[in-house]
């Protein structure tokens, strides 16, 4: 266990190092000189040079990279070339928003996926199972922004039940926070739920075919109880993996929903950063997203090992 | 003389503004941030919520030339000495009155008494001198160069400041109505991007990046208290989201309709009033005069004649907007109807192209990725295709890439952008401007205008407008309308978009 | 009426069979996999079910247990002593109440038949708790350890805390047996319980099974394709081929005087010492057809040396239910 | 048992040594369990010495996990041993790379346990049988394939079919035909009949016997079933936990096993004869020497929980 | 392995009573899975529509006609016209091209690079395989959308950058599938048999590994195609994908968003097109999975 953990942690750290280098290198070829952009179009060459010095963009790339990565370790993402704002807190703020959104979306997804997937697996090759499987197929095929647009059109605009978008931090007003979270979480969660339902379905199907489930029934458990007591935990192992991967994908994929619902999350920050050529900001956001993906994968790996005694011992 | 032509640097701003230009009207909406937003019931609450499209990147308009900052803060938080009113007249604000010398070089400002900054410092002539000199020394945005003409600021007494210009300028006082005329406290400029200290009726309560700015009324305001105590300025990167928020009663006023096509939703709903005024924004189809193809006036004229501008208005701005024949909005005194110069006539256009030997023209049509520009560009492209011109659309991110590649580098054949700066016709006198229009006659007329008296100013501007129209220096697709939607609770919404600010003080409860 | 009440109504009577299977038929959408399987099991009786792969042995066991995979349907009757209703016709709840308590089963694959995420002691305890055999958790744990000790697992306390993957195949199979025997079932079904084991381990396992059913006077249905193994364990044999019982009889008689040509072939092929003068083994031509596509009529006729026109019709059963044959041309004299 | 006559022929002359295995060790590393200690290893083959001479039918028995297959893979040079030497007709195999083993591939062929698993499901029978020929740059003609099909008793029409279209016994015939394609002199068989039904097992054993005689093959035959080995082989080696514990003529091993482990193996096998004599599971067990019967002797106990 | 036979092996010999049946009389072919039929039909119709759009569309999909803007569905304009007076149906047809192009190129890139990479990872010496795999995992940290935004930022947004970004982001998926397939194939007895027959590593990779993992790869391609369609739609919706005036379903949806209350059909049509395409490719993938490897399904149950 410890060996495995050490190895995985090392791999994570090396990956993070490589990822940061890739991100940095890739974005440093971005067209548009940050100093020039920051100064606007009227800047004199001298002013640009001065600005470059202030930003440190006149230094060799390696030095800039080391400086940047050094800052990251202490949570210092630098200062935006464009707005002069400190990037770190900005990213944290936005990340919190995205995490709320994605977390709520995932919750919706799970609430949909687990019963839907399980039912359609249990009713495999029977009408209900086919219908449910069909429903999740259709769900997967719908882009989440379309779901968002339709939800807004219906719930917010036509029925005026909920706001059409926007964001209120939970600390400021919990009720309003929830009201504004609900629709985007649904848009994200319904579609994601359909995706997850498929995984749940196939893992439950696999588990249903397992010999030990037959053993459980031979012991006198009804099929439903056998599934609950012996099957679901086994099915959970692969689903957790998918969940982690999907969570990471969702963190990035939420950008479209954030756009539709005007939610100030990490995704919109990224798009704004790109539009403004705010290099350091983009770098920071991309790095945080990549970090999130890598760390999530790492956690999933660890969790996976913890869930399955076979792997625990093999470790 | 008319005012100085806008410095090339300044024009950066107009372009910048472009993305948010449709923000014409101030609208207010109550929104009490600390309580339930109560959007569904705005009337009961002191707050007001106004939706805008483009968000300020910081609170410091001295270093960031985004137009969203003065839109939110000028007049409301930072007050200038003078401002532009709805009729385009310059009226005093912090200057109780002012006098201009006969030669248009010496300006005497007599200040309001008892004005304090929100940090408690008094506002006096020292502050005026400080603010003006700071523009010259510390501001990094292009617009600051308009202050170069100031030779001296003299503190005559506490409430009397005298500004001396190096040369006469018709434009200087006008530019003092923009952000460069905002008054700062000498002790209040250290954290401008986070904290705004001005003399205005509102204070910044909270700036949530990517989302909103919350304003609260200034208890110690020297003037008349504004009608709404709490105003939330909310920013919607997506224009449809803005409309939807309005439809869902989440905001009280759309400061800038960016998705005019969706306006029909408001038309049939008596909860809403659509306010249509004019702006200073000319949507210009710009030609790069540095490119060989555009040296030939016939080619330029052919393009103008190939375009059915009515249909451009329809497709790009939902039919709202006005035809103009040159770079002058009808609100300017020197406006003249030039819409008949080079009217839509595709046959004539084709013939002209033939004559100029420019059939099968291929153009690099580099367009900022702003909704109206993209829409206009598609229409233009299709119409040009009809006369045999192949205009390849290349979308550039706005602001960064478009500013960099088109505006600064001049690497384009043709582009579309809304020029929202007032009096920006002067850019036709600036050969270094991105369209590189180099016409000595125009340049002379404009220079003369700034130096001369008011009559010369108007005369010359009218002349320039005609010349560039006939010369087809650009094509002026239409004048962007100032479109707003207000719900029935908000009144006094100013129709026209004048100046750089969204004046919250004129809003009323209904 | 609950199954318990029914069971109580019938005192243990050695002459009454604990399990009666009549005309058991299993079919999948139009295709019959098992047809008219009839046999019974007395208390403490050990019956072997033998046949090659694909002959339907597992299906028989699963049908009795009510654990047929989806898509397969069973017909006929399965009667458990003390339960009035046919097992094929009672509800899933009631059937669950019988499984694990009155019907125990040991499956072939010890690797996969245990839940990999649950400690084995817990898995054994569960079968006690499901049927309310024990009072509380501690009791269940103690009883589970006792059961593990009964199947001669060394250090049952420690073994109980292990996960299945931490046990060897033989150990796992003993855990399975402990679970199957936990509630003293009337019927124990073992489906190839030792095929995956080594011969020495197999011998131990066979001994434990035999001892287990003897202690509880349970009827044993022992399934295997390995004739010597079944012969060692069982008193009576059923030979299954193509989903049909082709011959039945007491072990000794069946092995010394087989009457069905298939039984003969199987016996001959099983004995590696019975070679002809070329050193060749006797064989049955052909192979069990995959997917249960057996010929109509006599299922063995395409491999049978005696097959002819008559065999296109199923011969029917001759003799007693527990001692007879289904063949048009059986060897030896018909049995009285 | 196969007639003695055929075997006698080979015994006449001094038989050539085909395989000479010395001190062969094959270890597998297992995943690390501790940061400080080296990863544990499992010795699947432990200092094995053996010789196989030309014309011999060499049987290898032992229980699951005793290292039979690993040893066989070393003989076929499909696995690099940890140490020791394997000489084939005097040439060292250990340390050679795949492409230096062409001589071996033409001379030694393998038949595996599961006929379905050892035939590529995406290949037609013709390609499967011809694969060794193609690999040896001796492109197989259609005639050769047909010849081989005849030899193993499959209709010629089978060549254009896929393996899944055959029954288990037929698939094993295909595998055998393929092994014979390059006219090897040595056939290594790893439990070739364990996956088959008894009735089919007899067919395949008969076939193997025919072919060994016809093509004068040296046979190394692995099985966990002592009875089968005894039937097929003349010499038998017993393996346990990687070591050869006993070796001798098939007859001797079966009738007078020396090593307690072999004795246990012999005793624990249920046979029809003994069943008829009234053997029960407990009699089986009674005959097994008590120390060998314990499972712990078969090294398959998984590690203690960490 | 002496367990039960695969419960529904693809086919088997049917012995004819009374004679020794020739081997390999194949059983009647498995009936086509419904998902395969529906999926293939949907995909085929998209392909047909895309091809048709090269030779015929009801109207010019690019022609702006202000006079005809925002018309409802009619005999002339089946799905109405957009804000430019362009025929929505014609644009949908043209959009199918964009969709397929993006899918083909993205999946092509991912499959052509990812599959050999996966085979390499599965079959090469441990260190190299491990390094490649780690790198692959690293790439997994850049989801298509993120990569496309980055690419768009650096190289400008276009269909090309979107396709390439989606393709690159999909490489690890193929690599993983190919790797696990390769590992499985390499551990099989038939590879051992091939080695003992004297086959070289390369020959084994080409003759055994590739054909045996092709099913997995094809299924993955179909599923990835669906994901690529969705990704392109999302990118175009955000303005990072296909640029106007070229019709793309995502972009059309974005343009119609403004009108969703006024002309819902305009948003519904491209939305439906996207959903049908994704559904089609997903179903096709599922169907192929069932069809190409029926054993997979059953083995799981019995092993
Ligand atoms: N779920 C199912 N659907 C269709 N056919 C099935 C199913 N389960 C089993 N069969 C078929 O039923 C026949 C008998 O299967 P069964 O598992 O009972 O054989 P068996 O005698 O137990 O063989 P083995 O020794 O291999 O376990 C086989 O031909 C098999 O293909
Ligand atoms: N590639 C490998 N990696 C790790 N361990 C292995 C490997 N191959 C075999 N082993 C281990 O080596 C030991 C001997 O295995 P081998 O397959 O040679 O036994 P066997 O006698 O053939 O057994 P069986 O009768 O089950 O086939 C076993 O414990 C096995 O788990
Ligand atoms: Mg079975
Ligand atoms: Mg082996």
| Per-residue pLDDT tens over the stretch E223-274 | 888 888 888 888 888 888 888 888 888 888 888 887 777 777 778 888 999 9
Domain with residue C70: its CATH number is 3.40.50.300
Is D99's Cβ below 8 Å from some Cβ in E? yes
Q: What is the per-residue pLDDT across B75-118, written as a single tens digit (0 to 9) for each?
A: 899 999 998 887 778 889 999 999 988 888 899 999 998 899 98
Q: What is the per-residue pLDDT across B370-422, written as a single tens digit (0 to 9) for each?
A: 888 988 999 999 999 989 899 989 888 877 778 778 888 889 999 999 887 77
**Which residues, other chains included, contact B313 with Cβ-Cβ below 8 Å and sequence gap of 6+?**
B319, B320, B321, B322, B323, B477, B478
| Interchain contact, B243 vs E258, CB within 8 Å | yes
> Which residue pairs, CB below 8 angstroms and at least 24 apart, start in A9-12?
A9/A298, A11/E134, A11/E137, A12/A294, A12/A295, A12/A298
Closest partner residue to B250 among A166, A173, A260, by Cβ?
A166
Give residue C153's domain range. 3-234
Please tell me which chains touch D, using 3 or more CB pairs under 8 Å as the contact test: A, C, E
Does D69 contact ligand 2 (Cβ within 6 A)? yes
Residues 139 to 198 of A: which have CB under 8 A from any C CB? none
Minimum distance, in Å, between the CA of residue D8 and any CA atom of chain C: 15
Domain covering E35-55+79-302, topology:
MetI-like fold (1.10.3720)
> Which residue pairs, CB below 8 angstroms and at least 24 apart, start in B93-96?
B94/B123, B94/B183, B94/B199
Which helix H or strand E contains B418, and what residues bound it?
strand B414-419
d(CA E117, CA B291): 49
What is the model's pLDDT at position C15? 65
CB of D175 closer than 8 Å to CB of D163: no
List b or e across B4-27, with b for residues whose CB sees 16 or more CB atoms inside 10 angstroms.
bbbbbbbbbbbbbbbbbbbbbbbb
What is the model's pLDDT at position E16? 28
What is the model's pLDDT at position D36? 66
Whether the pLDDT of residue A156 is over 60: the answer is yes
Residues 26 to 65 of A: which have CB under 8 A from any E CB? 26-27, 29-31
CB of E68 closer than 8 Å to CB of E85: yes
| Interchain contact, A216 vs C109, CB within 8 Å | no
Q: Give the nearest chain C residue to D279 (CA atoms).
A: C232
Asked if C93 and C193 sit in the same domain, the reply is: yes
d(CA D99, CA D93): 12
Helix/strand number for chain E, H first, E second: 11, 0
Whether the pLDDT of residue D11 is over 70: the answer is no
Q: Whose CA is nearest to atom 22 of ligand 2?
A: D69
Class of residue C123 by CB neighbours under 10 A (exposed 0-12, middle 13-18, buried 19+)? buried
| Interchain contact, C302 vs E18, CB within 8 Å | yes
DSSP code of residue E182 = H
Does C254 reside within a domain?
no
Tokens of C191: 């489906």
Provide the strand spans (E) within E196-248: none
Among the bound ligands, name the one nearest to the CA of residue C54: 1
d(CA B139, CA B180): 9
CB of B52 closer than 8 Å to CB of B71: yes
Q: What is the per-residue pLDDT across A164-217, written as a single tens digit (0 to 9) for each?
A: 888 888 888 888 899 999 999 999 999 889 888 988 988 898 888 888 999 999
Phi, psi of D22 (to 5 degrees): -125, 125
Q: Measuring CA to CA, how many Å separate E265 from each of A179, A303, C179, E112?
A: 29, 46, 63, 39
Rounded to an integer, the average pLDDT of D196-205 is: 89
Q: Give the nearest chain D residue to E292 (CA atoms).
A: D122
Closest CA to D215 of D152, D165, D273: D152
Closest partner residue to E260 among A137, A153, A249, by Cβ?
A153
**Which residues, other chains included, contact C287 with Cβ-Cβ below 8 Å and sequence gap of 6+?**
D167, D168, D169, D170, D197, D199, D200
The CATH code of domain A88-311 reads: 1.10.3720.10
Q: What is the per-residue pLDDT across D24-62, written as a single tens digit (0 to 9) for each?
A: 999 988 766 666 666 678 889 999 999 999 999 999 998
Which range among B69-73, B422-426, C264-268 shows the weakest confidence by mean pLDDT?
Answer: B422-426
List b or e across E208-232, with b for residues whose CB sees 16 or more CB atoms inside 10 angstroms.
bbbebbbbbbbbbbbbbbbbbbbbb
> Of B22 and C211, which is predicted with more confidence?
C211
Asked if C82 and C197 sit in the same domain, the reply is: yes
**Residues in chain D, total:** 306
Tokens of A306: 């913890």
Question: Whose structure tokens read 């019963």?
Answer: A115
> Of E20 and D263, which is predicted with more confidence?
D263
Q: What residues form DSSP beta bridges with D85?
A: D22
Does C205 reside within a domain?
yes
Three-class SS of residue B279? strand
Tokens of B324: 């103009």
- Of C216, C234, C252, the residue at which a domain comes to its end is C234
| Interchain contact, A125 vs C104, CB within 8 Å | no
Rounded to an integer, the average pLDDT of B34-49 is: 50
Residue B316 alpha carbon to ligand 2 centre in Å: 74
Asked if C188 and C295 sit in the same domain, the reply is: no
Q: Measuring CA to CA, how many Å separate E156 from each of B366, B407, D152, E241, E245?
A: 12, 17, 66, 9, 16
Rounded to an integer, the average pLDDT of B494-503 is: 79
What is the model's pLDDT at position D3? 47
d(CA B265, CA D17): 96
Percent of chain A with pLDDT over 90: 13
Written as tens digits, the pLDDT of chain C (336 aa) is 444 444 444 445 556 789 999 999 999 877 888 999 999 999 999 999 999 888 899 999 999 999 998 888 999 999 999 888 889 998 888 999 999 999 999 998 888 899 988 999 999 999 999 998 888 888 999 999 999 999 888 889 999 999 998 888 889 999 999 999 999 999 999 999 988 888 888 998 999 999 999 988 899 999 999 999 999 999 999 999 999 999 999 999 999 999 999 999 999 888 888 788 787 888 888 888 776 678 888 999 888 888 888 889 999 899 888 899 999 988 875 543
Does C253 reside within a domain?
no
Residue pairs between chains C and E whose CB atoms are closer than 8 Å:
50
What is the model's pLDDT at position B27? 41
CB of B23 closer than 8 Å to CB of B255: yes
Q: Give the nearest chain D residue to E213 (CA atoms).
A: D122
Average pLDDT across chain E, whole number: 79
Which range among B290-294, E55-59, E159-163 shows the weakest confidence by mean pLDDT?
Answer: E55-59
What is the model's pLDDT at position A7? 80
Please, where are the H alpha helices in B164-223? 172-175
Whether the pLDDT of residue B41 is over 50: the answer is no
Three-class SS of residue B214? strand
Phi, psi of A24 (to 5 degrees): -65, -50
Whether the pLDDT of residue E303 is over 70: the answer is no
Does C334 reside within a domain?
no
Which range among A9-23, B377-391, D201-215 shows the weakest confidence by mean pLDDT?
Answer: A9-23
Concatenated DSSP letters for A26-53? Answer: HHHT-SS-HHHHHH-TT--HHHHHHHHH
**Which residues, other chains included, contact A269 with Cβ-Cβ below 8 Å and sequence gap of 6+?**
A90, A91, A94, A281, A285, B210
Chain B residues within an 8 Å CB radius of A166: 211, 234, 245, 250
Whether the pLDDT of residue A153 is over 50: the answer is yes
**Across chain E, which distance is largest between two alpha carbons, in Å?**
82
Asked if C138 and C208 sit in the same domain, the reply is: yes
Residue of C57, C116, C166, C203 to mutate, interface with D, max D Cβ within 10 Å = C203
Rounded to an integer, the average pLDDT of B184-206 is: 87
Chain D residues within an 8 Å CB radius of C251: 275
Asked if C175 and C264 sit in the same domain, the reply is: no
Does D113 contact ligand 2 (Cβ within 6 A)? no
Asked if C186 and C105 sit in the same domain, the reply is: yes
d(CA B261, CA B279): 18
d(CA C283, CA D200): 7
Closest CA to C292 of E26, E15, E300: E15
Please tell me which chains touch C, using 3 or more CB pairs under 8 Å as the contact test: A, D, E
Q: Measuring CA to CA, how many Å separate B15 from each of B8, B70, B158, B413?
A: 11, 15, 38, 17
Does D70 contact ligand 2 (Cβ within 6 A)? yes
Does C33 contact ligand 1 (Cβ within 6 A)? yes
**Sign of dihedral through CA atoms B389, B393, B398, B400?**
negative
Residue of D29, D33, D34, D36 to mutate, interface with A, max A Cβ within 10 Å = D33
Whether the pLDDT of residue B451 is over 90: the answer is no
Decide the pairing of beta strands B414-419 and C318-320: unpaired
Counting CB pairs under 8 A, whether chains B and E reach 3 or more, is yes
Average pLDDT across chain B, whole number: 83
Among the bound ligands, name the one nearest to the CA of residue C50: 1
What is the model's pLDDT at position C236? 94
What is the model's pLDDT at position C259? 92
What is the model's pLDDT at position A159? 85
Q: Give the nearest chain E residue to C193 (CA atoms).
A: E3
d(CA B481, CA B476): 14
Reported as half-sphere exposure (CB side, CA atoms, 13 A), residue A47 has a value of 16
| Interchain contact, C165 vs A211, CB within 8 Å | no
User: Helices E88-123 and E264-292, interaxial angle, to 10°?
Assistant: 30
Does D68 contact ligand 2 (Cβ within 6 A)? yes
What is the model's pLDDT at position C11? 43
Number of separate domains in chain C: 2
Residues 214 to 243 of A: which have CB under 8 A from any C CB? 214-223, 229-230, 233-234, 237
What is the domain partition of chain A in residue ranges? 2-87, 88-311
Cβ neighbours of C29 (radius 10 Å): 7
Tokens of E153: 């930022």
Class of residue B106 by CB neighbours under 10 A (exposed 0-12, middle 13-18, buried 19+)? middle
């Amino acid at each position: 266990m410890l060996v495995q953990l050490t190895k995985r942690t090392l791999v994570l750290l090396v990956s993070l190092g490589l990822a940061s280098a890739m991100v940095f290198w890739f974005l440093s070829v971005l067209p548009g000189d940050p100093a020039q952009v920051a100064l606007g179009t009227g800047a004199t060459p001298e002013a640009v040079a001065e600005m470059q010095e202030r930003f440190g963009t006149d230094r060799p790339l390696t030095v800039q990279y080391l400086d940047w990565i050094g800052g990251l370790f202490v949570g210092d993402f630098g200062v935006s070339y464009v707005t002069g704002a400190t990037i770190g807190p900005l990213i944290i703020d936005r990340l919190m928003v995205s995490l709320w959104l994605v977390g709520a979306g995932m919750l919706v997804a799970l609430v949909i996926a687990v019963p839907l997937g399980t039912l359609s697996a249990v009713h495999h090759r029977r009408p209900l199972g086919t219908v449910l499987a069909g429903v999740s197929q259709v769900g997967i095929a719908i882009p989440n922004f379309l779901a968002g647009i339709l939800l807004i059109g219906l719930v917010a605009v036509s029925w005026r039940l909920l706001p059409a978008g926007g964001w209120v931090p939970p600390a400021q007003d919990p009720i309003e926070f929830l009201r504004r979270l609900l629709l985007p979480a649904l848009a994200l969660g319904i579609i994601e739920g359909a995706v997850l339902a498929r995984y749940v379905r196939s893992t439950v199907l696999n588990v249903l075919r397992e010999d030990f489930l037959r053993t459980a029934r031979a012991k006198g458990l009804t099929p439903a109880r056998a599934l609950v007591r012996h099957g679901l935990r086994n099915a959970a192992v692969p689903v957790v993996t998918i969940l982690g991967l999907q969570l990471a994908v969702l963190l990035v994929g939420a950008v479209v929903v954030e756009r539709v619902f005007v939610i100030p999350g990490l995704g919109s920050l990224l798009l704004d950063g790109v539009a403004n050529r705010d290099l350091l900001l983009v770098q920071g956001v991309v790095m945080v997203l990549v970090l999130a993906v890598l760390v999530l994968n790492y956690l999933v790996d660890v969790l996976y090992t913890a869930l399955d005694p076979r792997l625990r011992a093999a470790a | 003389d008319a005012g100085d032509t806008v410095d090339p640097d300044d024009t950066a701003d107009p372009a910048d503004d472009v993305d948010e230009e449709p923000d014409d009207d101030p609208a207010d909406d109550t929104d009490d941030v600390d309580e339930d937003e109560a959007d569904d019931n705005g009337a009961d609450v002191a707050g007001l919520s106004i939706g805008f499209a483009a968000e300020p990147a910081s609170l410091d308009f001295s270093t960031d030339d985004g137009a969203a900052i003065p839109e939110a803060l000028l007049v409301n938080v930072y007050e200038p000495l003078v401002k532009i009113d709805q009729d385009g007249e310059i009226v005093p604000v912090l200057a109780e009155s002012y006098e201009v010398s006969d030669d248009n070089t010496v300006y005497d400002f007599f200040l309001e008494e008892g004005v304090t900054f929100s940090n408690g410092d008094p506002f006096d002539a020292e502050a005026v001198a400080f603010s003006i000199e700071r523009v010259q020394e510390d501001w990094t945005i292009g617009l600051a160069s308009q202050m170069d003409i100031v030779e001296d600021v003299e503190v005559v007494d506490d409430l009397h400041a005298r500004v001396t210009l190096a040369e006469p300028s018709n434009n200087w006082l006008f530019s003092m109505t923009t952000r460069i005329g905002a008054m700062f406290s000498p002790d209040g400029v250290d954290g401008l991007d986070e904290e705004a200290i001005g003399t205005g009726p509102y204070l910044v309560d909270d700036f949530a990046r990517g989302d909103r700015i919350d304003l609260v009324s200034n208890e110690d305001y020297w003037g008349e208290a504004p009608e709404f105590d709490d105003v939330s300025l909310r920013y919607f990167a997506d224009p449809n989201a803005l409309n939807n928020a309005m439809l869902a009663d989440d905001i009280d006023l759309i400061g800038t309709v960016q998705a005019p096509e969706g306006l029909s939703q408001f038309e049939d709903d008596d909860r809403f009033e659509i306010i249509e005024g004019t702006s200073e924004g000319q949507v210009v189809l710009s030609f790069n005069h540095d490119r060989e193809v555009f040296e030939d006036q016939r080619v330029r004229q052919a393009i103008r004649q190939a375009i059915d501008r009515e249909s451009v208005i329809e497709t790009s701005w939902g039919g709202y907007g006005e035809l103009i024949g040159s770079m002058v909005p009808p609100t300017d005194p020197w406006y003249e109807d030039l819409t008949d110069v080079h009217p839509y006539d595709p046959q004539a256009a084709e013939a002209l192209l033939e004559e100029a030997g420019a059939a099968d023209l291929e153009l690099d049509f580099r367009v900022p990725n702003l909704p109206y520009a993209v829409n206009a560009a598609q229409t233009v492209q299709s119409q040009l295709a009809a006369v045999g011109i192949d205009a390849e659309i290349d979308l550039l991110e706005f602001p960064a890439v478009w500013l960099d590649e088109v505006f600064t580098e001049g690497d384009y054949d043709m582009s579309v952008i809304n020029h929202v700066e007032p009096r920006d016709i002067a850019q036709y006198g600036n050969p270094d401007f991105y369209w590189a229009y180099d016409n000595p006659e125009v340049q002379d007329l404009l220079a003369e205008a700034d130096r001369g008296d008011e009559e010369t100013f108007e005369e010359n501007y009218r002349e320039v407008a005609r010349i560039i129209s006939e010369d087809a220096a650009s094509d002026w697709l239409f004048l962007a309308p100032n479109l707003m939607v207000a719900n029935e609770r908000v009144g006094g919404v100013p129709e026209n978009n004048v100046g750089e600010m969204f004046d919250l003080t004129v809003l009323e409860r209904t | 009426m609950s199954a318990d009440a029914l069971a109580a109504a019938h005192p243990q009577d050695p002459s009454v069979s604990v399990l009666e299977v009549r005309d058991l038929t299993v079919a999948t959408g139009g295709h019959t996999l098992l047809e008219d399987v009839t046999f019974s099991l007395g208390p403490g009786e050990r019956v072997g079910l033998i046949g090659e792969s694909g002959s339907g042995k597992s299906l028989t066991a699963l049908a009795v247990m009510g654990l047929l995979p989806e898509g397969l349907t069973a017909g006929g009757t399965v009667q458990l002593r003390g339960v009035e209703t046919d097992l094929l016709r009672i509800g899933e709840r009631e059937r669950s109440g019988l499984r694990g308590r009155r019907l125990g089963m040991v499956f072939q694959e010890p690797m996969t038949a245990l839940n990999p995420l649950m400690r084995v002691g817990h898995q054994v305890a569960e079968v006690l708790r499901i049927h309310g055999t024990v009072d509380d958790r501690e009791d269940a744990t103690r009883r589970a350890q006792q059961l593990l000790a009964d199947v001669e697992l060394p250090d049952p306390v420690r073994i109980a805390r292990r996960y299945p993957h931490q046990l060897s195949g033989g150990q796992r199979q003993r855990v399975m047996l402990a679970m199957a025997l936990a509630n003293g079932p009337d019927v124990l079904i073992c489906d190839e319980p030792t095929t995956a084991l080594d011969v020495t381990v197999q011998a131990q396992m066979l001994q434990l099974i035999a001892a287990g059913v003897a202690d509880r006077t349970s009827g044993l249905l022992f399934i295997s394709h390995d004739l010597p193994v079944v012969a060692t364990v069982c008193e009576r044999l059923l030979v299954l081929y193509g989903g049909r019982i082709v011959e039945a009889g007491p072990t000794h008689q069946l092995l010394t005087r087989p009457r069905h040509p298939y039984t003969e072939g199987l016996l001959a092929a099983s004995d590696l010492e019975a070679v002809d003068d070329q050193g060749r083994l006797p064989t049955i031509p052909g192979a069990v057809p995959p997917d249960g596509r057996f010929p109509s009529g006599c299922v063995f006729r395409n491999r049978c040396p005696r097959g002819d026109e008559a065999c296109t019709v199923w011969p029917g059963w001759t003799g007693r239910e527990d001692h007879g044959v289904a063949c048009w041309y059986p060897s030896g004299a018909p049995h009285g | 048992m196969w007639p003695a006559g055929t075997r006698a022929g080979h015994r006449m002359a001094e038989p050539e040594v085909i395989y000479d295995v010395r001190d062969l060790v094959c270890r597998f590393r297992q995943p690390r369990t501790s940061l400080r200690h080296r990863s544990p290893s499992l010795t699947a083959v432990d200092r094995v010495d053996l010789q196989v001479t030309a014309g011999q039918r060499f049987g290898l028995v032992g229980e699951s996990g005793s290292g039979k297959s690993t040893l066989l893979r070393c003989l076929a040079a499909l696995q690099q041993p940890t140490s020791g030497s394997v000489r084939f007709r005097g040439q060292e195999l250990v340390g050679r790379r795949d492409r230096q083993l062409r001589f071996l591939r033409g001379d030694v062929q393998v038949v595996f346990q599961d006929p379905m698993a050892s035939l590529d499901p995406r290949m037609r029978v013709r390609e499967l049988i011809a694969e060794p020929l193609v690999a040896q740059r001796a492109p197989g003609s259609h005639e050769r394939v047909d010849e081989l099909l005849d030899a193993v008793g499959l209709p010629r029409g089978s060549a254009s079919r896929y393996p899944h279209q055959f029954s288990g016994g037929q698939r094993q015939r295909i595998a055998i035909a393929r092994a014979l394609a390059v006219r090897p002199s040595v056939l290594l068989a790893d439990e070739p009949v364990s996956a088959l039904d008894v009735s089919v097992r007899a067919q395949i054993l008969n076939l193997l016997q025919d072919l060994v005689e016809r093509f004068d093959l040296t046979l190394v035959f692995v099985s966990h079933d002592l009875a089968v080995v005894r039937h097929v082989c003349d010499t038998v080696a017993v393996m346990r936990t990687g070591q050869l514990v006993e070796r001798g003529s098939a007859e001797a091993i079966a009738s007078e096993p020396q090593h307690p482990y072999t004795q246990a193996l012999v005793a624990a096998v249920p046979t029809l004869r003994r069943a008829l004599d009234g053997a029960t599971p407990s009699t089986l067990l009674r005959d097994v020497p008590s120390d060998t019967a314990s499972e712990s002797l078969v090294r398959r106990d998984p590690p203690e929980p960490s | 392995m002496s367990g039960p036979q695969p419960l529904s092996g693809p086919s088997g010999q049917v012995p004819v009573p009374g004679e020794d049946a020739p081997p390999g009389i194949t059983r009647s072919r498995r009936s086509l899975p419904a998902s395969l039929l529906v999926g293939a039909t949907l995909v085929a119709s998209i392909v047909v529509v895309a091809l048709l759009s090269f030779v015929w569309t009801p109207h010019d999909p690019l022609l702006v006609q202000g006079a005809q803007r925002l018309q409802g569905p009619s005999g002339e304009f089946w799905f109405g016209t957009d804000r430019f007076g362009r025929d929505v149906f014609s644009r949908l047809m043209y959009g199918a091209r964009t969709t397929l192009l993006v899918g083909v190129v993205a999946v092509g890139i991912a499959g052509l690079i990812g599959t050999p990479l996966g085979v390499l990872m599965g079959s090469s010496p441990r260190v190299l395989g491990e390094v490649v795999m780690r790198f692959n995992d690293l790439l997994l940290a850049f989801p298509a959308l993120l990569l496309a935004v980055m690419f768009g930022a650096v190289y400008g947004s276009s269909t090309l950058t979107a396709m390439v970004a989606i393709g690159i982001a999909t490489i690890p998926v193929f690599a993983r599938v190919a790797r696990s397939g390769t590992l499985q194939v390499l551990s099989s007895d038939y590879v051992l048999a091939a080695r003992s027959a004297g086959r070289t590593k390369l020959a084994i990779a080409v003759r055994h590994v590739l054909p045996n993992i092709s099913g997995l790869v094809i299924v993955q391609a179909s599923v990835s195609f669906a994901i690529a369609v969705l990704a392109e739609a999302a990118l175009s919706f955000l303005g990072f994908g296909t640029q106007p005036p070229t019709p793309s379903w995502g972009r059309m949806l974005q343009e119609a968003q403004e009108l969703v209350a006024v002309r819902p059909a305009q948003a519904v049509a491209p939305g439906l097109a996207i959903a049908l395409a994704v559904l089609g490719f997903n179903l096709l993938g599922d169907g192929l999975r069932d069809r190409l490897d029926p054993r997979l399904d059953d083995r799981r149950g019995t092993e």
